[in-house]
């Protein structure tokens, strides 16, 4: 399929106990993005430092790693036509106050730094 690509998405530790896993999965299914893999997991700080290595020089890095390792998460890979760009639009702006209703962050987030989902961007990072 032309322009078919993969993206990595992770429902963060606060999204899992809030009961949002099914709703978020449903939104990607309804958009027509195929599931390549899904894993319920507890990420180690070592794995998270590697995953977020591009952010290591930012002042929020240590807090991000601590937050992401604080509870279970659901990691998944989705694929389809322009899934990275479309997925980012579905997710939100980084700050929930700037997110529009209908986006995942606009509907389910209320605090910057505690968004319920991570989505890779750009395509190279998603791969």
What CATH number is associated with residue 108? Answer: 3.30.70.141
**Count of domains forming the chain:** 1
- Whole-angstrom CA distances from 64 to 48, 81, 98, 105, 115 are 9, 30, 20, 17, 11
Question: Does any domain span residue 1?
Answer: no
Question: Does any domain span residue 60?
Answer: yes
pLDDT in tens, 43-57: 999 999 998 999 999
Could you tell me the pLDDT band of residue 23, with boundaries at 50, 70 and 90? Answer: very high
Q: What is the pTM of this model?
A: 0.85
Rounded to an integer, the average pLDDT of 19-28 is 94
What is the rounded average pLDDT for all residues in the chain? 89
Question: Does any domain span residue 74?
Answer: yes
Domain limits for position 71: 6-125
Question: Does any domain span residue 70?
Answer: yes
Q: Is residue 118 among the annotated active site residues? A: yes
CA pair distance 38, 48, nearest whole angstrom? 17
Question: Does any domain span residue 30?
Answer: yes
């Amino acid at each position: 399929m032309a322009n078919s690509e993969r993206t990595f998405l992770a429902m963060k530790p606060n999204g899992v106990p809030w009961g949002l896993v099914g709703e978020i999965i449903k939104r990607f299914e309804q958009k027509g993005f195929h599931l390549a893999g899904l894993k319920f997991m507890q990420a180690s700080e070592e794995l998270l430092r590697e995953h977020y290595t591009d952010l290591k020089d930012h002042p929020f890095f240590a807090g991000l790693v601590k937050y992401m390792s604080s509870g279970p998460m659901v990691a998944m890979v989705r694929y389809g036509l322009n899934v990275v760009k479309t997925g980012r639009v579905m997710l939100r702006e980084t700050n929930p106050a700037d997110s529009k209703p209908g986006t995942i962050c606009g509907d389910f987030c209320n605090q910057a730094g505690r968004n319920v989902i991570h989505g890779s961007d750009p395509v190279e990072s998603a791969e």
